[in-house]
Structure 1
Amino acid sequence: MAILREIGTKYTKDSGTTFTVWAPEADTVEAVLTTSKDKAAVTLQREAFGYWTGLSEEAAPGARYLYRLNGELERPDPASQSQPEGVHEASEVVDHSSFAWTDENWKGLPLEQLIIYELHVGTFSEESTFDGVINKLPELKDLGITAIEIMPVAQFPGSRNWGYDGVFPFAVQNSYGGPEGLKRLVDACHKEGISVILDVVYNHMGPEGNYLNDFGPYFTDKYNTPWGKALNFDDAHSDHVRNFFFQNALMWLRDYHIDGLRLDAVHAILDTGARHFLQELQEHAQQLEEQQGRPYLLIAETDLNDVRLINPIAQGGYGLAAQWMDDYHHAIHTLATGEKDGYYADFGKPEHLVKALKHSFIYNGIYSEYRKRTIGSDATSNPAKQFVVCAQNHDQVGNRMLGERITSLVSTDMLKVIAGLYLLSPYTPMLFMGEEYGEENPFLFFVSHTDEDLVEAVRKGRKEEFSAFAWQGEAPDPQSEKTFNQSRLQHSYKKNEDQNQLREFYKTLIQLRKSILVNPDKSQLEAYFDDTESVLHLNYSGTNPKLRCLFNISKQPQETQLQNGQQLELLLHSADARWGGSGEESADTRPQNGKLLLPPESLVIFQSRT
């Protein structure tokens, strides 16, 4: 494992601020203090491998600075920790030691206890800030959430963006509340017993405000990604690009007390070296764990269905804690909606859902008709907790042309069935903000770039993405502030009885999962569809009491056969009037001659102690 080199600025009360930047091709580098009266410049000294460093006693927290390369070109710090005036202006010195943390007793939560809630800071609250999220934490705790996953907050251009156009990975978005705001949020979450996972992007950089090439070979011509040139993780000078991102990850975990990182689209982190970037990242995180005495979780997003990401390093894997599992989402979505366009073409059969429950990956070394190739590896032996599953997330909603949530695609009864399918699965569940009460506003794609050519390119690119789907209508303009405002949560469940009933249903499912499905084992799970191929039986034999879950995913009543000899006690029926159902279940909850009649689009949960 490589020895890391500090970069960026480091303030100490006794000596001032040390500036360190990697600029291997520069002849001279100065740190220009733009907030000093005479714009004082600190000449940095060149060290090994093209690092430049220097000390300023004048630069204190809050001081603004630029780097001047070769006496001419002035640019913000690639490792800037704050960009108060946006991506094109001066960086700011930050003192991480000054924040008054109150979470000294917080030790994090294990993976199996996570009920994750994905949110976007800009659209989650009325304030569009970290403090706005803090104000909603009591509601999330009441729901039963144990972890929030924050979409990227690295500084991006403008004030409206999903976050995947970030160009300063170390700087916290100024419009959200900057470094202090994020620390307040993390501290408040830990006070409520809630873990914090931060979405980070190590596979590409945004286009506007991206000045990395002015400093060094951060990118390589060896590969291309869907977003342009690939970051340089295995070409000449790649050791120092890797160092840049290792230091970034450690900063979030160490200085912001983040509990875990969600690693965006790791299949686009292209590295053919002997020790893959992800393995080395995990090794550095493990080393920090030992130093800090608390666990850190690295969770990958990938579309490769490759268990190498999560297998132990000793077994040839990368050792990450978990990965997102799109197969389960796609299996649920196609059965519930009937959609079969685009990548959904590979899904839609009942046996897909059963296979996902038993073996995790559906495409586990078999041919994908959509991709025209064989994909995946066998994940049967991997613990269920290593797979994060959902019914909605920012991609699956926001990458629809009109940003429709599943709320607008299926009935309320089916929403309850879908919630049960993943909250009662053996996997680590993740909600997308607002789904718990059936938020009706869409979640659209939005940006606030200043370059008109770039804005037009984004509009064109979005239209091309939709070509594989049979969606009707006109895509909203990503640049329009109206598009952003349409994507805000309404938090309307407090005034809407139907939404409040759905939220209470979610709350009950989460409580049930916490009390019985503590650490479910796939090997002690039985999953099958009955002869109608409309009712899914999901039985847990390794829990006490044993759970017996039945899901009618059809629009007609279904009679299904139960196993003989079961003494069943009803725990929950989704058609109960208190969940907004018809209430007709009252005469049908007791099995007759081993058979049970299920209303259309319904979920019934029994417990058995025999």
Structure 2
Amino acid sequence: MAPYTFELFAPYNKQAGLRLKNANARMFGLDIPMELNEQDGYWRATLDLADGIYHYQYKIVTKSWFEPEPEPALPDYTNDETKTFEENQENRKNHYNEHEKLVQEVKQRNKKREEEITFTEVWYTFVDPYATEVDERGSDDAFRSVGILIFKNGKKIIDEYEWKYDNHVPLVSNDKLIIYEIHIGDFQDKFINVTAKMDYFVELGITAVEIMPIKEFPGTIGWGYTPRYYLAIENAYGTTAELKEMIDAFHKHGIRVIMDGVYNHCDVSAPYAAIDHDYWFYHEPKDRVYCWGPEWNYGRYDEKYQVWPARKYISDSIRYFISEFHTDGIRFDAATQINNEEFLTAIAQQSREQARDRGYAPNFFCVGEYLPDKIESVMSNGGPMDSIWHDSLYWKLREAIVFDVLNWEELKNVIDGRRQGYKNIIDIVNYQANHDHDRLLIELGKERQIFDADAFRRVRMAFAFQATSYGLMMIWMGEEIGEYKEKTPGVAKLDWSLIEDREDNSNAINKEQLQYYKDVIQLRKLNPALTTPNLEFIFEHENDQIMAWYRWDTTTDDIQKPENRVVIVCNWSSTTYEKYEILNIPRNGRWYEWLNNDKEYIAENNKLTIDNFIDHTIRIFIHQTKRCDNDKRSTA
């Protein structure tokens, strides 16, 4: 037996209690009173515990002004194989319409409670906000869930996983990030299944994964953007040890792990919403249009206890994840709505310092979702973030690829982010899709009825475009294999059969798509020109809809190595040119086409003639300087 202290910060609530039982027991015993320390605002109860697994809950006299009713979980709709694609789509739509109707009914009831009822002496039962494991006990009802405490050798433990690969290989610096956004459930269901698919990530060539939220959320299906418990992971995905094993495997292969963090809002049934809503959250949403749950109030300071309550809780949760799970970065969801740059600056700096001090993987990456993107949000312009999602590039690229709308100057602005005011290559993350948007294949089919080879060609063009533009790059899972499922917060599992071997080779186009992505990623990794700030537009013909830009790297001091020079030529038109002459090529001599088996071209008089320039394609040429017998570079 050893003493263990349960504690809860709830400084202005009248009474609090603890419910505790062995995990094997069916029912809780008598409530255990907790005592308030007026000096620090914590309720505490200290008990002697034997080693074992315990379930526990807290009870408190609420100070919240209404009783939140949890929203229903998302429906799990599985396609009926006896129905057509259109019939399944219609049924899926009906399921989600019914769900949305239920959600709106819950919101209306909660609003009515807020307007009509004031509770005074109501006890709430809830899970410890600092619980590191939660059992929802098969219900979406937060008040039936329990926290799990594992007690061994006289102290609390999380699990017994031993890290193996913290210093196995160096992890790439921020300027070399090639990010793959992944939803655990739709990618491969569980942490252990993602770990089993590690070879796929390695062969694809990415250098970081950005994992959509995995903190415990209501139900078992969803994107995780309404977290209920900030230190517990979603148990539908697996255990803490399995999560660590997955992260360890990524690190073994030199792949960094960025976690998606939701710090603007939480689930309506999160513990602090039941304890003392207005102490932790804004009473009213800052913006009713963009409101997804109670919004953390980072501007509230408690003079009596010298604490910023919301800031401290979120700060503690971030420290825990970096320390316990060895993460390498955070994506700050809805950073625009957080609207507190002071807090974001402090929390981002805290995270970087914690990573530097841990003795391994010192680089940390803070990337914010600002919609629209704004230059003031990145560190190079005085903001809190290392980087932000390049939302403006997405919209301009979508206009050009899907709708054939070309605004020449606006396209150039997003290709070269310096024209928008970004100063460093890491300031922006370029993408053609993410979890919030349909993949371009879907957009092309729905909006323009463009399918098959024509659609795949445009998607490849978009990928090469983002990979060769100024900034970092990100892939939304599935786009690389030609996944054709619409965006949904429900179930949309990747169809891995798209790249499996088939006797009839009916998925050849999907396999070609994957190989194209691998080739472009390899170019991005091998050629330093694409991760320097050097970018210049060298050719434009608006009538022909041909544009070319030039990337180069001249930082090497090794005379044995040629300078890295890359020319990117885009055919935005619907015309295939049998021959097309590009002027202003920066170097004469041999140029090799990266995506065409290194086909050789000769530039003379700073002109390069491209053959068979197919509509909606990008051609990428790498300069190879000629070497003389004495191994010095020539001036060819």
Name the TM-score, length of structure 2 as normaliser.
Answer: 0.74
| SS of 2:593 mapped into structure 1 | strand
CA contact (8 A) 1:66 1:74 kept: yes
Structure 1 segments of 4 or more deviating over 6 A? 398-407
CA contact (8 A) 2:298 2:308 kept: yes
1:387 aligned partner: 428
**What letter matches 2:149 in structure 1?**
V
- Verify: 1:553 aligned to 2:562, yes or no: no
1:138 Cα deviation after fit: 0.5
Change (3 A) 1:331 1:59: farther
| SS of 2:312 mapped into structure 1 | helix
> Cα deviation per residue 1:266-308 (whole Å; 9 max; x = unaligned)?
011133xxx7110110232133134313232211111143333
- Verify: 1:121 aligned to 2:136, yes or no: no
CA contact (8 A) 2:442 2:484 kept: no
1:506 Cα deviation after fit: 1.0
Change (3 A) 1:43 1:188: farther
Identity %: 21
2:500 aligned partner: 494
1:298 aligned partner: 366
Task: Give me the whole-angstrom Cα distance separating, in 2, the residues matched to 1:352 and 1:25.
Answer: 54
How many residues were matched structurally?
Answer: 516
Task: Give me the whole-angstrom Cα distance separating, in 2, the residues matched to 1:529 and 1:19.
Answer: 68
CA contact (8 A) 1:399 1:445 kept: no
1:28 Cα deviation after fit: 2.6
2:273 aligned partner: 213
1:40 Cα deviation after fit: 6.1
CA contact (8 A) 2:468 2:530 kept: no
Task: Give me the whole-angstrom Cα distance separating, in 1, the residues matched to 2:440 and 2:13.
Answer: 41
CA contact (8 A) 1:45 1:54 kept: yes
| SS of 1:53 mapped into structure 2 | strand
- Verify: 1:64 aligned to 2:129, yes or no: no
1:605 Cα deviation after fit: 1.5
Change (3 A) 1:435 1:402: closer
1:316 Cα deviation after fit: 4.3
1:373 aligned partner: none
Between 1:250-259 and 1:530-539, the stretch displaced more is 530-539
CA contact (8 A) 1:42 1:56 kept: no
Which structure's CA Rg is the greater one? 2
1:317 Cα deviation after fit: 3.0
Which residue, 589, 605, 608 being the options, matches 2:620? 605
CA contact (8 A) 1:141 1:192 kept: yes
Change (3 A) 1:535 1:129: same
Task: Give me the whole-angstrom Cα distance separating, in 2, the residues matched to 1:96 and 1:68.
Answer: 24
- Verify: 1:256 aligned to 2:318, yes or no: no
Name the TM-score, length of structure 1 as normaliser.
Answer: 0.77
1:146 Cα deviation after fit: 1.2
Task: Give me the whole-angstrom Cα distance separating, in 1, the residues matched to 2:370 and 2:509.
Answer: 36
* Unaligned ranges ≥5, structure 2: 62-121, 151-156, 502-506, 555-562, 626-635
| SS of 2:230 mapped into structure 1 | strand
Q: Show the 5 A alignment for 1:174-193.
A: 174-193=235-254
Task: Give me the whole-angstrom Cα distance separating, in 1, the residues matched to 2:129 and 2:200.
Answer: 38
Task: Give me the whole-angstrom Cα distance separating, in 1, the residues matched to 2:424 and 2:298.
Answer: 30
1:285 aligned partner: 351
CA contact (8 A) 1:525 1:541 kept: no
Change (3 A) 1:55 1:404: farther
- Verify: 1:199 aligned to 2:260, yes or no: yes
Change (3 A) 1:236 1:353: same
Change (3 A) 1:398 1:202: farther
1:323 aligned partner: 388
1:59 Cα deviation after fit: 6.8
Task: Give me the whole-angstrom Cα distance separating, in 2, the residues matched to 1:41 and 1:230.
Answer: 31
Task: Give me the whole-angstrom Cα distance separating, in 2, the residues matched to 1:187 and 1:167.
Answer: 26
Task: Give me the whole-angstrom Cα distance separating, in 1, the residues matched to 2:234 and 2:13.
Answer: 29
| SS of 1:148 mapped into structure 2 | strand
* Unaligned ranges ≥5, structure 1: 1-13, 341-347, 365-377, 447-483, 579-584
Q: Show the 5 A alignment for 1:526-537.
A: 526=537, 529-532=540-543, 534-537=545-548
> Cα deviation per residue 1:375-411 (whole Å; 9 max; x = unaligned)?
xxx32xx211221111111012289999989995962
2:214 aligned partner: 153
Task: Give me the whole-angstrom Cα distance separating, in 1, the residues matched to 2:404 and 2:262.
Answer: 30
2:483 aligned partner: 439
1:26 Cα deviation after fit: 1.6
CA contact (8 A) 1:562 1:596 kept: no
- Verify: 1:269 aligned to 2:338, yes or no: yes
- Verify: 1:77 aligned to 2:143, yes or no: no
